[in-house]
Structure 1
């Protein structure tokens, strides 16, 4: 509820429990406020050194975010979530530092007082009179697990009187009578309500998850009308609090009227909508000449049950007629939708009135043009009045007002209407050169003329404003269409990016840079050649941050705002494919329309890049699939054809050995032996090719039977005795091994391949160890050698077909381990390869022992 209740102390206690439980805990930032008890709890907890930065010539200690991210503890302590960082920090607010820590997979313990919760800040200021500057959006707390640290107001005041808490850190609060008993009781109630709302949300989520039918139903949907005024911030926070209490979704709506807005107003609208988005609202913008109709139209489209609007007051406590009219119309036309009218603070809307007046203020050149046109028409009409008559001049003045309204804004049009009525009365209506009307019909004519001139000028100006708004929407739609067409017509990446950069430079009047993703999942060092500028090292780090966190960063944002350009991630459903940088020529932030168009552009560009990537992947996959098919066909055909000459060579070599007529000399016997060894090797190669083809075609279906492990091991060692002749073989069989269901032939071939592989990849004289054991529901066969081990880069691909490790001896084909994997997985088992910390490699075959033997023949 307030500083001093013991949040930091409780956080450190929880952290010590986590450390005792074996978690890696680091203190990133903790402020003790000179409390000895708090400082004692920090002992034995690793403390990260702060980072010092200069602010207004003073060295200030700050959280060292980069070092903490590099340290990567399991749990980080970051005190005072609402703290504002110095200017040159990566983020403007500490809660943004915490969000980055969470994105990096680091859990965070932090502290927060209720006055810093954004949706409660206005109420706290009203209760205590203290201005709250540092706020945390409610959306940050939505995913947090909150623990309430409670204390009675009396206990807190007693603690403060004992100077346990150093109040100099909260001098502003102390000076504003923040710590009065009444204030503390109200803040305590607000805190308890906030936690109760969170608990209620948890109960509701549990009921929904467990499909428990209860009496509580959530059928509310709120909508708050957002405008370019200070009252909008109060409305947004008030709506967030109401949405929390009702546990309902809410919408922030801005209705754009067809009227030009100056830069200040556009920036204010953008800030208000950003605040609503931070507090968890669904932000919608629409355009309508009638604010009430636009508001109710969106409310009905989104099934809104309650609409929240403001009722501002001027400095004298009187309502604005325009706002009063809007509220009255909403109540009368809303139908079944409930209307909440929130009263503004006194004094604030006085500024609002002047702001809205400034919206209608036209440039001074238009006023001069209107005055000059009316004076010129007055002079011409005065000269020709004897010819055309007095009443005809009224029509000329009226025509002048209508024509002017086609070229100038509302203010100059109204001025022209008033001047023309006055000048017509003074110079043309009898008595001339006097502001008197001698005939009643002339008076009626003057009054009707004035009304008609005002109405025509107003309507014409409104039509022009609507035309201007439609033109702006057309420009945005045309820009989006042109971009989509350019992206669709791009034949390759370079051409597509060149067209995209050219189109965006034209729309945003900014220099564009594009950085694409480089495998594996990192941002390229250099901007694409189509870019208008290259990034410096600091700017590249900002772009990398935007890429890694999928959030805008750089200029005009809260993330690394000191950068020269704005960096927008190009994100799709599958991830971030790149980053787009915009170096604006304007010194003010992008307007609301620019941001909306920029978000749309970035989504379209990301989708186009992703589509191009998928197209390239698809083409490569087709080529690889066709190549694989041709390879299988060729190998299968050649393998069968080769077996016939191999059999003939083997038979001829055997006959040479068995000749009795002319015994072979020793060199001849050696050559015959080499022929037999080469044919055996070639025969094994052909057999492996045929087996791998059978495995990939799905024709290998093991015939399970209960087999004796001792027989399996004996047969395998006997079969590979020639390869293992120069190695020592150690067999370690677990006593009383049960009969294991397996296809004896397939597992024998798999185990023999592992033994041969161990002999081939280790030097002579080393030992090969074969072990067999039962682990729970699996039978495990492992072969361990004392060789050089498997290179780390080769481990993920060691069982791939035709893959050979970098240090593999010549002569292998890379099929042996692929066959092992295929035979074992056909049994529903798995084979693993890893390096032994003591040296060498270990291959383990794991087979399930709960399978039922089958009488089906193996294919």
Structure 2
């Protein structure tokens, strides 16, 4: 029963421990000061620990701390280096947050970050402060932080039920799993309420009184304290199990009670599961439901009953564990040692005592003999369960195909024919040949074909070879012994063959599942888009389970489901309804479950923390079942899919945050620029009109009218640029291409900005034989006008400006250039000029920096291009190139 493997360290656990240690060595260490509620002294304890670290010559930097005006807490900041907070302007208010960029640049050995669940102000690098902490850890910086139990994601619903207050700020449990240490700052409810009355929690008696009557009720605080204690105890228990994973397991450590119940394909297992649940609840202990899978596969009825029992155990809160072993007692003890289970629950034996004695005792006897200090609970079966026992569930199935039976019978027949050639006195040789054939067949065929070969060879050898021949009489003891040996060898060889094949099959299944999960994880991690990831995952699921699949993803509002286009399964209204139920209740539904079992498919929700992000629908053929192991693999697939969906949501949220920040910046820039640019010409027009009313001097009146006209033109250009930019960004711009004469375009552009060009010599250089261009006349004329206006504004008076056009026959492209002889533009600014609000000289007043952006937009919409280069004679040269089309014949 006992083997060396039972007390050897689990290699998978060792590998997992090594992986965790390697990941931990690359990131910073996280210590969380956990409390049941505000006011227990988390920040005080954290600062005291920071002072101790400072005394040990550790580089400590206080990133952000909220003292809430408590003098004893502020006193602990003495001597610590404080990082200046980052000011963020939002909707007219100035908010201060953690300056993550400065902290990363400073790179202290230890960063002190208060209030882990805090939500950052809009415009920050991350939405949540815990994301800031995660980035610090990834950068190798150690972190001290504080957290209340109501902000732990997995406890948020329980806190809401206790206090009636929803928790809007939560921290995912996955981050807390990264913590190297969680220190519970415990305080009795009476002491905390006394601190509240003394003004040490909230400043101001009115707020303290309101808190005392609501959140800080003694019943609430007691329940929150229990939650915090349980959370800490569960974490310590997980750490103990991880530490034990790398040690040889010879006995359990009774640091806490844990129950293990053996579950099988029996109606009695239902009673065992419920009995163990009651015992675990009475002891306040976690429990496991373990099924030891033997070599022989179960019949469909037995498999269905087993899945039902394990599903019940999981529903009642058990951790389900599947293991493979021929020796059930050894497997149960090994699993108990691996999970530090102190109690094993099994059913009372009901077999034949004589047969049990021949097999070395009952399951209970073997557990008592080899269980060490593990307690064994033996539960008698309910008499009604005995009556409900369905023996058909345990009918042996034919595990070998007919071909193997034919091979066994054919081999014995062939040896019988060859044996007829041997002399009559060499029958012992024939018997040994038969025996060798049985052993050889055990390497190729299954248990029952080997047994068939043993029976046929024994009977054939007795009837045809042992004297007296053609009878079944045996006169010699050695012949009888050899005759019996056939059966013994056949049974033993067949049993060993079946066991080896079953072990190989189980190993192959485990390898296929592990490989499938590994491949899925690798593909999902490397997928560039959500669609690619979903398509790969669904096709792999189709192939692995011989099924048709569909995936429904939650919409932006989170209350609707939309089928993904990569689905291979078309969902009708009935299946959509089942998927909607699984999504809303976050529980599996449909076939193979107790909820809406009439469905044709299995519906598995994609769960992320406290919400569902979609539903995976798997439809296998009607004659095929999904075993519990397969459903566990599907659940792993669903978890991986939920991770990739959440990653896509986070990426979209990050893009929205960036867009919001850019939009906010654009809004401020636009508001500042437009308000100034609008105010200037309006002020000129207003002043001119007021002076016109007060003067009779004709020359002054003409000058004022000219100023008003110039300001009106400037205002008109400004509004026109804003409207054009809006047309470009909204996609409403639809160019109308037609044949245009380049000289007509040049003349129209010159006329539209004639006032600006009045102080500059302007030249048009266009050959008379230049063929027409295919372009939008209005858009191109406006683009050229903007370029001419830009040249006139940014060059000194009397500086020449030239507009030229031509045709490049080698590249089949036409070109138009606007060149000036001004100060020019530096190479690094030339490409930036075409961006919104970009200006060659930011210190110069006037202009929004939209003109060249609009020019590029107008030209790009037509398929043209524009570049800025240096003019050979000094200044800047803008070159517009158009695709040259064959001119249509004249009408």
Q: With structure 2 as the length reference, what TM-score do the two structures score?
A: 0.47
Q: With structure 1 as the length reference, what TM-score do the two structures score?
A: 0.48
